[in-house]
Amino acid sequence: MARATSLNGSLQALSDCYIRVGNDVIYMKSLPSISDSHGANYNPENGIGRSMPTRTFSNGGDRAISWDITFVSEGDSGLRQNLNYYRLLMSCTYPVDTGGNVPFLPPKILKIKCGSLLADQELCVILENIQVSWPTDVAWSDVQYGYIPYKFNCQLSFKVVYNSADLPGQQRILSLGR
């Protein structure tokens, strides 16, 4: 589960594997399980006398990334931090309350990175879904923060978003990975 430990045995944050929410950064302390998918859409074109239609490229599909995190608390201080990380991620599926003339803005756009696995630089994503598992087979704390497990899992579903002036093509994906 953990990639690195220090001399005293505590988990160390992976500096190049994180989720950025505005100014807040959630560094992974264990490697997340990541899956990445992207598709292409083709339209059938019927021709006279053909037994099968030909296919013409229509458009690219969404790039979807699944990111499964295991949050582990090594002591009571990590309990509150991990709970805050979970709540920060959960808040990214709700609209932003402006308190002004505009009632709400869309949820925040996040940035993710895990080494060069997904891209050489941060990817801009929207969080479409978050699911948490509160396991009962691990120790829980009920002293300072209420009931919180020392270990829990979050499954995140992202869609990659681009500025319309910066949409990727084949050559860019081949050279930059994003």
Position 111 pLDDT exceeds 70: yes
With a cut of 90, say whether residue 127 has pLDDT above it. yes
Bridge partners (DSSP) listed for residue 155 = 68, 131
Strands (E), 73-118: 96-97, 104-105, 110-114
- Domains in the chain and their CATH numbers? 17-176 (2.40.30)
Residues 147-176 have pLDDT tens digits of 889 899 999 999 999 765 555 565 666 666
- Which pLDDT score, from 0 to 100, does residue 145 have? 64
Q: What was the pLDDT predicted at 16?
A: 92
